[in-house]
Amino acid sequence: MLEWQSFLHRYVPVGLLEVLPQKINDRPPAFVGRNDLETLMASPDVSDWIKLSDMILGPAPEAFRFDPKHKANSTSVEG
C-alpha cells in the first residue's frame, strides 16, 4: 500500500494546479482538505502515508521500515 501511495503521489489532478498546461515537475500549493482524512491523504510526508496504512491495515511490526522508491516525492523517511 505504501508503494502505491508513493506512486500515486507523483500524479497531480489538473484541477489542483493553477496554470495550464501543467509541467511534469509542477506540484500543487499546500492546502487543507475538507476533513482531516483528506488532508492526511494529500500529505507528501512518508510518516503520514504510514499513518494511513496503519489506519487501514493495522499497525506494522516494530521493526518495519519503509523507504520510498521515489524519495524526491516525500519530505521525510520514517519507519
Task: Delimit the domains of the chain by residue range.
Answer: 2-73
**46 HSE (CA, 13 A, CB side):** 18
Model confidence at 70, in pLDDT bands (50, 70, 90)?
low
Beta carbons of 67 and 78 less than 8 angstroms apart: no
Q: What is the pLDDT of residues 38-69, one digit of tens each?
A: 888 888 888 898 899 999 999 988 888 888 77
pTM of the model: 0.65
pLDDT tens figures, 23-43: 777 766 777 788 998 888 888
Q: Tell me, what's the pLDDT at 77?
A: 45
**Positive/negative CA dihedral, 37, 29, 7, 61:** negative
Q: Is a pLDDT exceeding 70 seen at residue 78?
A: no
CA distance 14 to 20: 8
